[in-house]
Structure 1
Amino acid sequence: MGGAWVKRWSPGGKGHSRSLIGALKVHTLGDIDSLPWTLPPSKSHAIRMMALVAQSKQTVTLNGMMNAGEDAISMRRCLIQMGVKFDDLDQNGKLLDNMSNTDLLPHEDSTSWRIHGVGPTGLVPPVSVLHAGNSGTALRILMALTSHLVKPIMLDGDASLRSRPHGSMINTMKQLGVSCSFGQLEEGLPLLVEGPWAETETISVDVASSSQPTTSWLLASPGANQTVEVRYEGEAVSQRHSSLTLQMCSKYGAPFGDAMPTHLGPWLPTFQNENIDIPADMSLSSFAFLAAKVLKIPITIKEIPSKEDALGHELLLEKAETFGYRIEGNTIHCHEGGTKAVIDLRDCNDLITPIAAMMALGGGGRITGAVHAAYKESNRITKTHELLAQYGLTCTSHDDGLEIPGGQELSLPHSIVHTHHDHRLQMTALILALGCRGTVIIEGDTLHRVADPQAVKRWVNQGASIESFLFQPE
């Protein structure tokens, strides 16, 4: 009987009635004159910093963590499971009582996270599964960190993370003699990892589809039991993110210098300043830009990160006039139209969906350099094409991006808007829905929490009627 059951079952639920799913019902937004916009902390900075501080022998406080998304919280939770202590502090630096929190979540009033490092070899095997939620960055860093440990450790993630490819990391882990057991077909998670590293001279790291493998091995190198030669394979993408990792490691004690290291060996993360400010997430300002265009209102962003901290997403400011905007201080003003342009997203592919919508409503053009967007929460090239079509916006998909006619207008979707477990698709869909005349149903009522917990609330606070409910798929 067991064999027959296994044969019938599939992760996609093919041939069976699908379960109810959470969805948003978005009604027409009334008139508003302007909107203040607060960006959450950068998960790219926060996740990397947590990994380094955890492997130090110091106590370091990360400031600016109010409204952190679930990706950063997932990394925090997994480190706690491996023996790292976190304290929550309020805006006055006062310790918050969080002892009864069995879910290992931050206190609701926490603005700073104080982390007590355990040293490069102080992480301990968890007693339960390390669940990275939706965060590919957290998962891959955790894969590298747990590869040092001598007991079997199970790693998992949500449905989106389960469907993403993890072969690049697993290939390098196998070169290090780390045992990896995982599922087949649609899902590569859960993953069972058992280290430590075997004696190895050389490893290869794939850099062509993502910067995350490079980031993971650099961040996990403090706990290495040997020095290994590293060879990078392919043409690197998302280089601003891998450069951020390199800069952080070099700043806090790694013997790497200014270029990607040719060897990885043990070192001790050391912090001269034990209070570190985490910048805001510039990539999420793309939704403020899109909202300004859809609703034709000025939007003021509370804090715009520096160019150095924007990680390539400063493209939004540099191309603002092309997209049909005027920037005054921290305020985005939208004017009619825009200029047809070619936009290269090689180092900022997370922007593809909101920028595609902006270009469709503006001057149009072509998005290039985004081939690695196919390996995100969804294939963001084809799924962006699909999402725009649901709102009556046309484009053509290419291997590395999209061709988008300009001067288009939104139309009301005729059925539920599919978002494929992808928060950036959902957040784009939400803003486009606010510009439609009528009610729009969007798949995924909580997806935005991965990156921006305020993504729905900010509109509700402005009088928007947005309901969360359970939807029965066909």
Structure 2
Amino acid sequence: MSGHGPATPMTSHPVTGLKGTAEVPGDKSISHRSMILGALSVGETRIEGLLEGEDVLRTAAAMRAFGAEVTDHGGGSWSVHGVGTGGFAEPEDVVDCGNAGTGVRLIMGAMATTPITATFTGDASLRSRPMGRITEPLSLFGTAAYGRAGGLLPMTLQGAASPVPVRYTTPVPSAQVKSAVLLAGLNAPGETVVIEKEATRDHTERMLSGFGATVAVEETPEGRVITLTGQPELVPQDITVPRDPSSAAFLVCAALITEGSDILVPNIGLNPTRAGLFITLREMGADLTYENEREAGGEPVADLRARFSPDMKGINVPPERAPSMIDEYPILSVVAAFAEGRTMMAGVKELRVKESDRIDAMARGLEANGVTVEEGEDWWAVTGMGPKGVPGGGTAAARLDHRIAMSFLCLGMGAQKPVKVDDAGPIATSFPIFERLMGDLGARLVRENH
């Protein structure tokens, strides 16, 4: 369990020729939202291909705590009997969201306009992450929040008894903030409006429309304006969850930096608000192609083929692309280490407040493995060492962060010497089959015996 129990050190050894087809898990963002919107609908929502990582299972448990009937039918097939908009019951106990930053923030939004009280907590990582960015806009509806100093969990939310609709401009590009406000707006009368200066992942808007809410999206000079008409009756859905591009990123990137590799990762969601990494990799010269492009559940989908790419070049990643790939910068910085020249990543201060300070975590771990990194408050740059040019041989601290752990395990596959991660346990939060899938492709990941 992430943040609990003994650490699981793991070492990734250099390999050649990652080969095969890898079926990655369902999309985490869509899995969380399927559970929550299913719980806010009247009737049974059926979900196929749910990501059964710890984060989503915490959200499922939370929906049970708020009164929905959530059933696991096995093999990624789930059903949710919802209680309707504004129908949440008061939980009998503290709601423990584990490591799920998306889960806790969306659930806070979903309950914020119902006159009930709930207390939220999480693991050590989640308890160190700021919740003020959520509770501040929720207070505009009439919600009260009582947490630790600095807006930290554990935190008690008192839902608004007479919510009012809100017009809110997000101060930072954050799909979590936007989604929390929109979910709160479901049980407020009138129109709730969110204005984004920079577009972020739009799964919430797409899925709200799919569940029967009236959502209008307009591009204006002040930004992207999303208008939600409150108090709809949400209609249950049958959802097939596309496979997660953030999980696919690790397999794709491992193939690009590992000599002789050729892998296929099928059925990957390529929503434009999520595909920034793949665009960036192609700009760097990666041998990455989209096959069998199609639509599934309102989302663009393709099979990704990735081959070893010895001719990649460092680039300046446009800052405005950050929202579409914010979770992928750690693994991009690993790829950058194997490119020729410098890769500059700017406009990424959001990475300082993820599961860990991801800029600092990646910089220290890359330096420990012989890579030169420069950093500032909202940027960092990696000086590439070319294919097979990364020395490796170091240990990286995962800092209870699944993406940091997986990034350094990928680094070890293409480096000259093995790379050790001090704790691979947190990987279970988002990608519980990472170790097995990588092993099937030909990676050599070795757990230390306790």
Q: Which bracket does the TM-score occupy, shorter chain normalised?
A: 0.7 to 0.9
Task: Look up the match of 1:168.
Answer: 133
Which whole-Å CA distance do the structure 2 matches of 1:439 and 1:261 have between them?
A: 48
Instruction: Go from structure 1 to structure 2 and tell me whether the alpha carbon gap of 1:295 and 1:321 turns closer, same or farther (over 3 Å shift).
Output: same
1:180 counterpart = 2:160: no
Q: Deviations over 1:381-413 (max 9, x none)?
A: 232222211211112113433222223522234
Task: Look up the match of 2:241.
Answer: 278
**Offset, 1:252:** 2.5
1:359 counterpart = 2:336: yes
Q: What is the 5 A alignment of 1:199-348?
A: 200=164, 202=166, 204-224=168-188, 226-227=189-190, 230=193, 232=195, 236-237=197-198, 239-241=199-201, 243-259=202-218, 260-262=225-227, 265-271=230-236, 274-308=237-271, 311-313=273-275, 315-316=277-278, 319-320=281-282, 322-327=284-289, 329=291, 330-344=304-318, 345-346=321-322, 347-348=324-325
Letter of the aligned partner of 2:333 in structure 1? A
TM-score, structure 1 length as denominator?
0.81
Give the greater-gyration-radius structure (CA). 1
Which whole-Å CA distance do the structure 1 matches of 2:308 and 2:14 have between them?
A: 18
Q: Deviations over 1:31-65 (max 9, x none)?
A: 55524322110011111122112111121211112
Instruction: Go from structure 1 to structure 2 and tell me whether the alpha carbon gap of 1:30 and 1:220 turns closer, same or farther (over 3 Å shift).
Output: same
Instruction: Go from structure 1 to structure 2 and tell me whether the alpha carbon gap of 1:463 and 1:147 turns closer, same or farther (over 3 Å shift).
Output: closer
TM-score, structure 2 length as denominator?
0.85
Task: Look up the match of 2:299.
Answer: none
Which of 131, 140, 159 is equivalent to 2:96? 131
Instruction: Go from structure 1 to structure 2 and tell me whether the alpha carbon gap of 1:201 and 1:87 turns closer, same or farther (over 3 Å shift).
Output: closer
Which of 391, 416, 435 is equivalent to 1:411? 391
Question: For the Cα contact (< 8 Å) 1:298–1:331, is it kept in 2?
Answer: no
**Offset, 1:83:** 1.5
Comparing 448-457 with 170-179, which one deviates more in the overlay? 170-179
Which whole-Å CA distance do the structure 1 matches of 2:257 and 2:180 have between them?
A: 38
Q: What is the 5 A alignment of 1:452-471?
A: 452-461=431-440, 462=442, 464-468=444-448
Task: Look up the match of 2:79.
Answer: 114
Secondary structure of 2:344's counterpart equals strand
Q: Which runs of 5+ in 2 are unaligned?
A: 219-224, 292-303
Instruction: Go from structure 1 to structure 2 and tell me whether the alpha carbon gap of 1:316 and 1:150 turns closer, same or farther (over 3 Å shift).
Output: same
Task: Look up the match of 2:42.
Answer: 57
**Offset, 1:350:** 0.9
**Offset, 1:353:** 0.8
Instruction: Go from structure 1 to structure 2 and tell me whether the alpha carbon gap of 1:52 and 1:27 turns closer, same or farther (over 3 Å shift).
Output: closer
**Offset, 1:298:** 2.3
Which whole-Å CA distance do the structure 2 matches of 1:255 and 1:166 have between them?
A: 28
**Offset, 1:351:** 1.0
Q: Percent identity?
A: 21
Comparing 291-300 with 346-355, which one deviates more in the overlay? 291-300
Question: For the Cα contact (< 8 Å) 1:29–1:465, is it kept in 2?
Answer: no
Task: Look up the match of 1:83.
Answer: 67
Question: For the Cα contact (< 8 Å) 1:35–1:297, is it kept in 2?
Answer: no
**Offset, 1:212:** 0.9
Which of 423, 430, 440 is equivalent to 1:444? 423
**Offset, 1:440:** 4.2
1:432 counterpart = 2:411: yes
**Offset, 1:418:** 0.9
Letter of the aligned partner of 2:135 in structure 1? I
Secondary structure of 1:39's counterpart equals coil
Question: For the Cα contact (< 8 Å) 2:213–2:228, is it kept in 1?
Answer: no
**Offset, 1:210:** 1.7
Letter of the aligned partner of 1:412 in structure 2? G
Which whole-Å CA distance do the structure 2 matches of 1:264 and 1:410 have between them?
A: 53
Aligned length: 422
**Offset, 1:314:** 5.4
Question: For the Cα contact (< 8 Å) 2:182–2:228, is it kept in 1?
Answer: no
Secondary structure of 1:22's counterpart equals coil
**Offset, 1:323:** 4.0
Which whole-Å CA distance do the structure 2 matches of 1:315 and 1:25 have between them?
A: 26
**Offset, 1:121:** 2.5
Root-mean-square deviation over aligned CA pairs = 2.7
Which of 144, 151, 169 is equivalent to 2:109? 144
Question: For the Cα contact (< 8 Å) 2:135–2:145, is it kept in 1?
Answer: yes
Instruction: Go from structure 1 to structure 2 and tell me whether the alpha carbon gap of 1:177 and 1:170 turns closer, same or farther (over 3 Å shift).
Output: same
Instruction: Go from structure 1 to structure 2 and tell me whether the alpha carbon gap of 1:55 and 1:231 turns closer, same or farther (over 3 Å shift).
Output: closer
Instruction: Go from structure 1 to structure 2 and tell me whether the alpha carbon gap of 1:424 and 1:154 turns closer, same or farther (over 3 Å shift).
Output: same
Comparing 111-120 with 454-463, which one deviates more in the overlay? 454-463
Letter of the aligned partner of 1:48 in structure 2? R
Which whole-Å CA distance do the structure 1 matches of 2:375 and 2:174 have between them?
A: 20
Letter of the aligned partner of 2:306 in structure 1? I
Letter of the aligned partner of 1:362 in structure 2? A
Letter of the aligned partner of 1:382 in structure 2? D
Q: Deviations over 1:115-150 (max 9, x none)?
A: 112211322111111111212111111111222343
Question: For the Cα contact (< 8 Å) 1:25–1:439, is it kept in 2?
Answer: no
Instruction: Go from structure 1 to structure 2 and tell me whether the alpha carbon gap of 1:445 and 1:338 turns closer, same or farther (over 3 Å shift).
Output: closer
**Offset, 1:113:** 0.9
Task: Look up the match of 1:28.
Answer: 13
Task: Look up the match of 2:363.
Answer: 385
Q: Deviations over 1:177-204 (max 9, x none)?
A: 322111125x700111112344546453
Letter of the aligned partner of 2:98 in structure 1? G
